[in-house]
Amino acid sequence: LKIKKILEDIYFFGGSHHSSNTYLLEKQGIIIDPGSSLRGRIKKFLNVLNKVGVSPSRLKYIFLTHSHPDHSQGVKQFVSNYQLKVFAHPLAKIILESKNPFLSLVEREIKETGKYFKELMGVLDYHIIVLISSLVYGKFEPTKVDFTFEVGKILFDDREIEIFFPKAHSVDDVCFYLPKEGIIISGDLFDPHRGNPYSPILITPTADLNFYEKAVDKIIEFKPKYLLPGHGFPIFGEREIYNYLSKVKETIERYKEKTLEILNKNPEASFYEIGKNLEKRKDVSANVLNAYSTLSILGFVVMKALKRPR
């Protein structure tokens, strides 16, 4: 488990393929995204905390950036060991508190695909997706969410946190901006260390490329000095972050232009044909789906943003 002190009381704990990064705001006892509990990650996390001299008994709150299992599946284990209060987006609360969070998540995404479900999923039955997910991320039990976030500024002790809902990577995205420190905690809007570090993370049908673009603009306006992503390593420095975000914006533009180009040549182009012209499977973020479905979803999300129904 990689650990890094970002500022005097802000820590980064590295994730893996099946677990997000975790952040700790020590003074307030806030954990952002516990990640997955598979492979003893939560235990390792608590051990590391002890090593850096942070007593787990000081942990008070869990903040979730969204409902995806690689970020939120480990909450249950945390809460059963310590009396932490969980905060999430109102739509994440619905998923997490349902009888079977995986199934609820998959059903929400399927609903978005409408009549295109077969084209996007190919031969995959959605029960199989739920099964594979539980193998990759671990058992996803119903998880109580004590409080839901609202857009705006909150004060936790003397730490100011601005909350906004990008609705970009997932409909239940939450981003945190710490104005005093110039820190953005972005959840899965960014993953600077995958194949194509600048690609927007469009791995589920509810992802929204237009909202993505707006969110990136908003973050650029904050002029952050620290970008703390859901996966991959943090980016430091105003200039570095600006350059990174500009390239993400360029990628979004390229996706749209390329898709229009393909549709001009062939108005009947499949989602897969579009997706595979935008990225290679190895260059987009991990999910449990095969190359066909992953690239089809990418094509679907870009088509949705261009409002080009077939």
**Sites of contact with Zn ion (CB under 5 A):** 68, 188
Rounded CA gap, 36 and 77, in Å?
9
Q: How far is the CB of 141 from Zn ion (least distance, A)?
A: 19
Q: Which is nearer to Zn ion, 26 or 71 (CB)?
A: 71
Residue 88 three-state SS = strand
Q: Which two three-digit tokens encode residue 150?
A: 């609202």
Instruction: Report in angstroms how near the CB of residue 109 gets to Zn ion at its nearest.
Output: 12
CA distances from 215 to 40, 164, 208, 211, 301 (A): 34, 9, 10, 6, 16
If the CB atoms of residues 19 and 26 are measured against Zn ion, the closer one turns out to be 19
For residue 122, the minimal CB distance to Zn ion (Å) is 22
To Zn ion, the closest distance from the beta carbon of 289 in angstroms equals: 13
Nearer to Zn ion, 10 or 201 (CB): 201
CB of 230 to Zn ion, least distance (A): 7
- Cβ nearer to Zn ion, comparing 68 with 76: 68
Q: Are 84 and 31 in contact (CB under 8 A)?
A: yes
Shortest-Cβ-distance residue relative to Zn ion? 68
Confirm if 230 and 203 have CB atoms less than 8 A apart: no
Return the number of the residue (68 or 89) whose C-beta is nearest Zn ion.
Answer: 68
Residue 185's φ and ψ, nearest 5 degrees, are -110, 110
d(CA 93, CA 95): 5
